[in-house]
Amino acid sequence: MICGGPALLPVSMRVVCVGILLGLGCGDAEDPAQAPVAAALEEVFVVESVMPLGENPADSIAEIGVFVERRDGGYVIGDRFLPRVRTYDEEGRLEAAFGRFGDGPFEFRRITAVAEMPSGRVAVADFSNSHLTYLTGSLAPDTMVALPGAARNVLALGSDLLVHMIVGDPNEGVFGHPRLLHRVTPAGLAWSSYELPFSDFERPYWSSFADYAVATGGDSTYVTSGLTYPITVIDGSGETVGTFGTPSASFRPIPVLEQGALANLGSYGTTLGEFLASFDVIDRIDAVGAYLVLTRGRYNPERLMFPLEVLHTSLEVYDRGTGTKLYEDVPLLDGSSVLGGGRFLYLLLDMYAPPWRIAKLRFRVQD
């Protein structure tokens, strides 16, 4: 039996029992002020439930990509490799699916982000084009909206959308720092914020390895380059109001490289894959209730293709109101990956192999 949830659902031989693997039980809530900073997963979270995703045998999931918790308790999932968006109810039952490959209206090449609007409409971003595709809550074609650039990510921000995209040519001048985050309202662009923290001149190669971990909570935005601390906090009007976050002693940052360094990796006795796997990145930031969860990882040396794949290794937890770090170096299960936040933190128990099962993790301090 899972603490605080229904009876344990059947799982594969590789993950016999999530409750056993995680060591989770029904203990008393911990006072975060008294808890150690370095903590095990079971000290921080309780498993609320394990949700197996329903599948249509004629329309199977290739790999789970972007994940959004819906306001009604259901979920929207974009396929990592297929041009498909799917919706599920709160128990993981498949409700609808939409998408076909192409460059025409309501067609996708690779889905990079999805977001749900307050109306229930679903916004879909495809990094290969410069528009947003809106679907109804049941995934019927709705509208398409042109953008001044290709969206890498979209998130709900209050009643609006936060769009991560580069407007204009990022290669215009080595000192060019375009603004990356844009608040889009029904009336148009409200503001643009957050410049690149470094240029190719200042940090050769870093722009190739940096993605931007972005989360929204309430009317605030939290963002980092993924390679460096701190986290920047942006208020609802687009102004930077503070920063927080420090790396733990175990965090291995990427070195500042000189031009030509990657061409000579062989002379240092390493390969590109080994080099990428030698430093840590912040792959995700997720707002989970009053907390922010940072997901750390390392690039997968076996998948050297765009976009580079990050293998999730550990978590950090911050108080979203104060920026205080509560936990660090919280290890994740091998083969698992963090999908997203919301009312819970959602953990995919095996990122590659079906049956696809998602654990809903609740903070113990909420008990």
Q: For 291-345, give the secondary structure using H, E and C.
A: EEEEEEEEECCCCCCCCCCEEEEEEEEEECCCCCEEEEEEECCCCCEEEECECCE
Question: Over 50: is that where the pLDDT of 186 sits?
Answer: yes
3-state secondary structure of 209: helix
Please answer whether residues 183 and 189 qualify as being in contact, where contact means their C-beta atoms are separated by less than 8 angstroms: yes
pLDDT at 305: 74
Cβ partners under 8 Å of residue 15, min gap 6: 21, 349, 350, 357
Query: Chain-wide mean pLDDT for the chain?
Result: 86
Residue 8 has pLDDT above 90, yes or no: no
pLDDT band of residue 171 (cuts 50, 70, 90) is: low
CA 227 to chain centre: 15
CA-to-CA dists, residue 81 to 130, 132, 145, 225, angstroms = 19, 19, 23, 24
CA torsion through residues 348, 350, 354, 360, sign: negative
**pLDDT score of 128:** 87
- Contacts of residue 48, defined as CB under 8 A and 6 or more positions apart, other chains included, come to 2, 4, 5, 344, 360, 361, 362
Neighbours of 119 (CB within 10 A): 11
pLDDT at 247 over 90: yes
Residue 34 has pLDDT above 50, yes or no: no
Query: Residue 67: in which H helix or E strand, if any?
Result: strand 64-69
What is the residue whose two structure tokens read 């215009």? Answer: 172
Percent over 70 (pLDDT), the chain: 87
Q: Is the pLDDT of residue 20 over 50?
A: no
Give residue-wise pLDDT tens across range 281-291. 999 999 999 99
- Reply yes or no on whether the pLDDT at 250 is more than 90: yes
* CA 324, 313, 286, 72 torsion-angle sign: negative
Q: Is 198 helix (H, G, I), strand (E, B) or coil?
A: coil
| Domain spans in the chain, listed from the N-terminal domain onward | 1-26+40-51+337-367
Beta bridge partners of 108: 101
Contact 161, 123 (CB under 8 A): yes
Partners of 123 in the β-ladder = 115, 134
Name the pLDDT band for 311 (thresholds 50, 70, 90).
Answer: very high
**Could you tell me where the DSSP H helices lie in 178-316?**
206-209, 272-276
Per-residue confidence at 366, pLDDT binned at 50, 70, 90?
Answer: low
pLDDT band at 205; cut points 50, 70, 90: confident
